[in-house]
């Protein structure tokens, strides 16, 4: 029953942020490929972003569906259609989004009560702690999903469950993170921007997350055991929970269309992008993408543009939301004409896994979000690390210190997500140029980095194949849910 769970119905609640939503949609398809029925519950705008991928899965006879819930946007002071963190008028409105998310509890519960067949298991993002209360009331087992990998998540656990940060007075001095298998040095702000935040609302959600986590039957992680074996073990011990690594989930996207449309409609026709890359030499192109939520001021974007130009290397640069001032600068300077042939600037969403798997790409400038980090690892591409907020500085340490497949760009001071617009730190063009040149060098160090990257990529592909560690973990998770259901004697219909 466990390896072919045709009688199970999983209900997934992904957080309305691309870095959380994309891996959960991939996970939904992986569960459906096992024969389970899967329902993804989200809001209309978010549903539209991945409907084509789900529709294709349904046409391939996978039992997968999307159900929509309305966010009470007006009630919390958000404009209509503002249903994802990347659509907020400013990062300061994150608090409003948290309030809207909390109001989903009652409509979600009402939806679950009438679902047919009834849910066997809820897999919900940790940022929806109320799903734990719903699961308890309806007697449904719950598995919790978090965005980060085991290394960063263990670091977060250490700083939020001990007094380590209270003993540190300086915000700029580095200290050794205690109780880790490797020696990792961070500053106080770098260790603490994922967690409680600095608003009453974010702190309340985080505290509720910790309580809700205790009731979950386990934690599912988008990672693979071979990548961070010591950290998987230590996290399970620290949390006293089963930890199932089932990734890299991005590798479940086999068709060109699924890979091109993953997450959102790409800003450039995927074929045009690949054609441009086809004209470049093997491993010569630097790909730059600073994520779906990262923010670069006009001054920073100009420095990045000039740093890339002066590196004299081919590059493909995706900018999510260029400011009017930056567009004016590009036009006035004739920047795109200057770099034509060698560089390409694209506005909007990137078909990232397609780009990273192209043989011309040899380096990736990344914000160190966990999805991008894992996608870079899965493609065997060394990285220039440019973290900004959340657990990104911890992911940077994982890339550069644990895996040793990256070069730091030199960011020191993180910002809280709700204060991204206030970031003052500017990475200068010379630092950008030096980091890129260092990453792409053909010296002994560069070769060793590339070799290690290829080894991790091979491990990633093996993990999700039949008999691989992630495949086995998916089976173990399904078995645990099946066993939990056998203990629950009260069916949902009797509760409602």
Using CA atoms, how far residue 284 sits from 40, 376, 439, 451, 472, in Å, is 40, 16, 11, 16, 37
Decide if 493 is inside a domain: no
Decide if 258 is inside a domain: no
CATH of the domain at 45: 3.40.50.2000
Q: Give the mean pLDDT of 350-363.
A: 91
pLDDT at residue 458 tops 70 = yes
Same domain, 474 and 432: no
- Quote the pLDDT of residue 287: 96
Same domain, 234 and 371: no
Q: Give the mean pLDDT of 8-29.
A: 92
Give the C-alpha separation, 26 to 31, whole Å: 9
Q: Determine contact, residues 25/17, Cβ cutoff 8 Å.
A: no
pLDDT at residue 254 tops 70 = no
Three-state secondary structure call for residue 339:
coil
Same domain, 422 and 470: no
Give the C-alpha separation, 411 to 386, whole Å: 6
pLDDT at residue 249 tops 70 = yes
Residue scoring higher pLDDT (81 or 455): 455
Q: What integer best gives the mean pLDDT of the chain?
A: 88
Give the C-alpha separation, 323 to 329, whole Å: 10
Q: Give the mean pLDDT of 472-482.
A: 94
Q: Give the mean pLDDT of 58-63.
A: 88
pLDDT at residue 58 tops 90 = no
Same domain, 91 and 204: yes
- Quote the pLDDT of residue 1: 36
Q: Give residue-wise pLDDT tens across range 113-129.
A: 999 999 999 999 998 99
pLDDT at residue 380 tops 50 = yes
Q: Give residue-wise pLDDT tens across range 183-216.
A: 999 998 898 877 666 667 767 778 888 889 999 9
The boundaries of the domain holding residue 72 are 9-252+463-488
Going by C-alpha positions, the residue among 470, 478, 483 that lies closest to residue 248 is 470
Percent of the chain with pLDDT over 70: 90
Decide if 257 is inside a domain: no
Decide if 381 is inside a domain: yes
Decide if 1 is inside a domain: no
- How deeply is 337 buried, as exposed, middle or buried, from its count of CB atoms within 10 A (0-12, 13-18, 19+)? exposed
Q: Give the mean pLDDT of 28-52.
A: 92
H/E segment holding residue 44: helix 44-59
pLDDT at residue 241 tops 60 = yes
Decide if 482 is inside a domain: yes
Strand-pair partners of 345: 317
Distant-in-sequence, close-in-space partners of 494: CB < 8 Å, separation ≥ 6: none
- Quote the pLDDT of residue 262: 54
Decide if 495 is inside a domain: no
Same domain, 340 and 211: no
Same domain, 351 and 437: yes
Q: Determine contact, residues 232/223, Cβ cutoff 8 Å.
A: yes
Going by C-alpha positions, the residue among 273, 288, 248, 228 that lies closest to residue 439 is 288
Q: Determine contact, residues 91/417, Cβ cutoff 8 Å.
A: yes
pLDDT at residue 308 tops 90 = yes
Decide if 335 is inside a domain: yes
Query: Binning pLDDT at 50, 70 and 90, where does residue 299 land?
Result: confident
Same domain, 310 and 188: no
Give the C-alpha separation, 255 to 266, whole Å: 16
Same domain, 435 and 483: no
Same domain, 56 and 94: yes
Same domain, 278 and 313: yes
Same domain, 140 and 216: yes
Three-state secondary structure call for residue 144:
strand
Percentages (nearest 5) of helix, strand, coil residues in the chain: 50, 15, 35
Same domain, 136 and 283: no
Phi, psi of 291 (to 5 degrees): 85, 175
Q: Give the mean pLDDT of 150-177.
A: 89
**Tally of domains within the chain:** 2
Q: Determine contact, residues 64/28, Cβ cutoff 8 Å.
A: yes
Give the C-alpha separation, 358 to 343, whole Å: 16
Q: Give residue-wise pLDDT tens across range 272-285.
A: 788 899 999 999 99
């Amino acid at each position: 029953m466990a390896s072919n769970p045709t009688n199970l119905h999983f209900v997934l609640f992904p957080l309305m942020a691309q870095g959380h939503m994309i891996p959960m949609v991939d996970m939904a398809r992986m569960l459906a490929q096992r024969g389970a029925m899967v329902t993804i519950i989200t809001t209309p705008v978010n549903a539209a972003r991945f409907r084509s991928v789900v529709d294709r899965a349904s046409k391939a006879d996978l039992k997968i569906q999307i159900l929509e819930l309305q966010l009470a946007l007006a009630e919390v002071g958000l404009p209509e259609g503002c249903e994802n963190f990347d659509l907020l008028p400013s990062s300061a409105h994150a608090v409003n989004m948290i309030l809207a998310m909390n109001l989903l509890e009652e409509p979600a519960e009402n939806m679950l009560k009438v679902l047919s067949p009834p849910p066997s298991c809820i897999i919900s993002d940790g940022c929806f702690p109320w799903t734990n209360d719903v699961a308890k009331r309806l007697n449904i087992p719950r598995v919790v999903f978090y965005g980060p990998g085991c290394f960063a998540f263990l670091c977060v656990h250490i700083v939020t469950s001990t007094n380590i940060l209270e003993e540190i007075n300086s915000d700029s001095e580095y200290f050794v993170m205690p109780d880790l298998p490797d020696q990792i040095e961070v500053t106080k702000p770098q260790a603490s921007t994922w967690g409680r935040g600095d608003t009453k609302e974010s702190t309340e959600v985080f505290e509720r997350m910790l309580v809700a986590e205790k009731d979950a039957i386990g934690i599912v992680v988008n990672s693979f055991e071979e990548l961070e074996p010591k950290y998987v073990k230590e996290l399970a011990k620290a949390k006293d929970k089963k930890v199932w690594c089932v990734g890299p989930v991005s590798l479940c996207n086999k068709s060109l269309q699924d890979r091109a449309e993953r997450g959102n409609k790409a800003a450039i026709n995927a074929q045009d992008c690949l054609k441009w890359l086809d004209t470049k030499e093997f491993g010569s192109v630097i790909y730059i993408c600073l994520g779906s939520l990262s923010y670069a001021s006009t001054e920073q974007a100009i420095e990045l543009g000039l740093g890339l130009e002066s590196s004299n290397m081919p590059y493909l640069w995706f900018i999510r939301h260029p400011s009017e001032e930056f567009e004016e600068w590009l036009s006035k300077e004739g920047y795109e004409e200057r770099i034509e042939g060698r560089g390409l600037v694209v506005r909007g969403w990137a078909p990232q896994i397609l780009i990273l798997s192209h043989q011309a790409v040899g380096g990736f400038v990344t914000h160190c979000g966990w999805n991008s980090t894992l996608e870079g690892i899965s493609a065997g591409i060394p990285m220039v690390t440019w973290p900004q907020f959340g657990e990104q500085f911890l992911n940077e340490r994982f890339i550069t210190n644990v895996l040793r497949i990256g070069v730091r760009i030199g960011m020191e001071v993180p910002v809280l997500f709700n204060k991204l617009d206030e970031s003052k730190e500017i990475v200068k063009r010379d630092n950008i140029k030096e980091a890129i040149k260092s990453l792409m060098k053909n010296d002994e160090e560069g070769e060793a980095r590339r070799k290690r990257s290829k080894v991790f990529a091979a491990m990633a592909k093996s993990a999700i194949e039949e008999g691989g560690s992630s495949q086995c973990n998916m089976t173990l998770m399904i078995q645990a849910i099946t066993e939990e259901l056998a203990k629950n004697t009260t069916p949902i219909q009797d509760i409602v």
